[in-house]
Amino acid sequence: MTTVERGRTAMMRTGLSKPLSTALTDGLLLPGTSVFDYGCGRGGDVLRLNALGYDASGWDPDHAADIPRKEADVVNLGYVINVIEDPHERASVLRSAWSLARHILIVAARPDWEARYVHGRRHGDGVLTTKGTFQKFFKQDELRSWIDNNLGIRSIAAAPGIFYVFREDSASHTFLASRVRNRRAYRRIEIGERLLETQRVILQPLVDFVVERGRLPDAAEVQNIDGIENNFGTVKHALAVVRHMIPNDTWTSAQEAARRDLAVYLALAAFGGRAKFTSLPGDIQLDVRAFYGSYRAACDSADQLLFSLADQQILNKACSSAAVGKLTADALYVHISAINRLDPVLRVYEGCGRALTGAVDGATLIKLNRIEPKVSYLNYPDFDKDPHPALIASLRADLRRLHVKFTDFAGSQNPPILHRKETFVADDYPNRDKFARLTLQEERAGLLDDARMIGTREGWNATLGQAGLRLAGHRVVRAKGLK
């Protein structure tokens, strides 16, 4: 009989584990949130969460068996199911963890591409490692289906190998909507100098709300009502002042951006089943009324975006006419910061990829395929500093096959590199002018004439050497020893 030593899989970490750090980044661990780490290993996450001020505890059958299992707002089942060799026990542990989650269950398991780094032999539906531990590697959509089928609830991909399961349907829709909205850059409007300092402090949050949401807040969304009433008499009067202070072009732009955000969110929400209007979070109901008048009209607009995805010619046309991004024969490449500058149909296209993969850590550029329904997330870690950064990893979401493919370039001696970086970013990107000046220098020097030659690090270095040139930061200079 094979003995599996599960306790040996517990790692000594130097920081928060990926599932909990992802939840923290996503704003799911709010002040006062209680967290229970189901299968906490050596307890590193519990210690770090407590140090951050959270009410955290954990249980582990090998390292903390005497700690009682208890309910919490957020329950983390991080890299537990992948070390359980018995499929029935695996599902039972998932259901047990779910029973303790008051609001959110986080489920994480190792993705299938990590199997290449593990040595061992086949055992059941996984691998018995040379250390005597078991590892089950999941394809991304396989993990989602397994969670959904066992819990009877649609989970949401948070990141590769990480999923959220929300207890309340409205909470899941709040999260999905925030994903769309929060990826838009807001230009903060400073309040006029004619107001007293106390009045500016009170009104600034209202102005920020309008710029972000494209509408005036409802009375229930207004904070510091006492301060508003003391300085402006009524909330209505304060909102009238705010409306007067925001320039018309800013107001119109904010409305249109928020309207597009809502359509993109509703289009993407259709994949998990749109909620009834009355089940939507209150703020989204207000958005629907403000921008479309009715839920049916809003859903009709979203459905038009979805229908467009079925027509590759429409996607191809949207890519060709995009105001930002580098267009090639087969794809549009755009910096992640500029996604919300694209046509809504392309935002939904990218959103479909993200619905499959979750947020891809380190993604710099997004590749929208013009030929096939595929979205790729490309990691160039030194995009801003390196004049020609190298690709270290790619994660491709095949929307037709619901398959995720990871390609690792980190060990490559001749990885692909980027040129013309300014083409990937929006006009207001902080370093765009510097990128453009470098491109102009390289064009004048004839360095970019042979695109096939310069696409890799070795080819680019050879091109520079043949021209007797080198780079000093984002400048082309003569190589040493040459005149």
Cα–Cα distance for residue pair 124/103, rounded to 1 Å: 33
What is the overall mean pLDDT for the chain?
A: 91
First to last CA, the chain: 74
Q: Phi, psi at residue 441, to the nearest 5°?
A: -60, -45
Q: Quote the pLDDT of residue 113.
A: 94
| pLDDT greater at residue 359 or residue 223 | 359
pLDDT tens for 78-88 read 999 999 999 99
| Chain length of the chain | 483
Q: Is 192 helix (H, G, I), strand (E, B) or coil?
A: coil
Task: List the alpha helices (DSSP H) in 310-421.
Answer: 312-320, 344-357
Q: Quote the pLDDT of residue 131.
A: 84
Sheet holding 162-166, edge to edge: 55-59, 34-38, 72-78, 101-108, 162-166, 156-159
pLDDT at 483 over 50: no
pLDDT tens for 427-452 read 999 999 999 999 999 999 999 999 88
Cα–Cα distance for residue pair 179/354, rounded to 1 Å: 10
Cα–Cα distance for residue pair 358/309, rounded to 1 Å: 19
DSSP lists the bridge partners of residue 368 as: 332, 375
Which residue ranges make up each domain of the chain? Answer: 6-167, 177-183+254-309, 197-246, 312-408, 430-478
Q: Which region among 7-11, 173-177, 244-248 has the lowest average model confidence (pLDDT)?
A: 7-11
Cα–Cα distance for residue pair 250/88, rounded to 1 Å: 57
Q: Which region among 177-191, 203-217, 393-407, 445-459 has the lowest average model confidence (pLDDT)?
A: 177-191
* Residue range 313-328: mean pLDDT, rounded: 94
pLDDT at 123 over 90: no
* Residue range 295-317: mean pLDDT, rounded: 93
Class of residue 148 by CB neighbours under 10 A (exposed 0-12, middle 13-18, buried 19+): middle
pLDDT over 70, % of the chain: 93
Q: Phi, psi at residue 453, to the nearest 5°?
A: -75, -35
For 283-289, which contacts have Cβ atoms below 8 Å and span 24 or more sequence positions?
A: 283/174, 283/213, 283/221, 284/173, 284/174, 284/177, 286/215, 286/218, 286/221, 287/213, 287/214, 287/215, 287/258, 287/262, 288/262
Architecture of domain 6-167: 3-Layer(aba) Sandwich (3.40)
Q: Quote the pLDDT of residue 80.
A: 96
pLDDT at 175 over 70: yes
Cα–Cα distance for residue pair 294/266, rounded to 1 Å: 13
pLDDT at 187 over 80: no
Q: Is 374 helix (H, G, I), strand (E, B) or coil?
A: strand
Pair of tokens at residue 1: 């009989």
Q: Which region among 205-209, 326-330, 362-366 has the lowest average model confidence (pLDDT)?
A: 205-209
Cα–Cα distance for residue pair 176/190, rounded to 1 Å: 29
pLDDT at 351 over 60: yes
Q: Quote the pLDDT of residue 133.
A: 87
Name, in order, each residue with C-beta under 8 angstroms of 77's C-beta and a sequence gap of 6 or more: 38, 39, 93, 94, 97, 105, 106, 107, 108
Cα–Cα distance for residue pair 49/26, rounded to 1 Å: 15
Name, in order, each residue with C-beta under 8 angstroms of 467's C-beta and a sequence gap of 6 or more: 445, 446, 447
Its pTM stands at 0.90
pLDDT tens for 408-417 read 999 999 999 9
| pLDDT greater at residue 237 or residue 322 | 322
* Residue range 153-168: mean pLDDT, rounded: 97
Instruction: Give the DSSP H or E segment for 448.
Output: none
pLDDT at 24 over 50: yes
The C-alpha R_g of the chain, in whole angstroms, comes to 26
Q: Quote the pLDDT of residue 211.
A: 86
Q: Quote the pLDDT of residue 184.
A: 56
pLDDT at 212 over 50: yes
pLDDT at 310 over 90: no
Q: Which region among 267-276, 362-371, 417-426, 474-483 has the lowest average model confidence (pLDDT)?
A: 474-483
Cα–Cα distance for residue pair 330/349, rounded to 1 Å: 15
pLDDT tens for 271-290 read 878 889 999 999 999 999 99
* Residue range 180-187: mean pLDDT, rounded: 65
pLDDT at 137 over 60: yes
Q: What is the largest CA-CA distance in the chain?
A: 81
Class of residue 69 by CB neighbours under 10 A (exposed 0-12, middle 13-18, buried 19+): middle
pLDDT at 7 over 80: no
pLDDT tens for 386-404 read 999 999 999 999 999 999 9
Q: Is 462 helix (H, G, I), strand (E, B) or coil?
A: helix
Cα–Cα distance for residue pair 385/341, rounded to 1 Å: 23
Nearest to 233 by CA among 199, 264, 270: 199
* Residue range 291-309: mean pLDDT, rounded: 95
DSSP letters spanning 245-294: HS-HHHHHHHHHHHHHHHHHHHHHHTTT-PPPGGGS-HHHHHHHHHHTSS
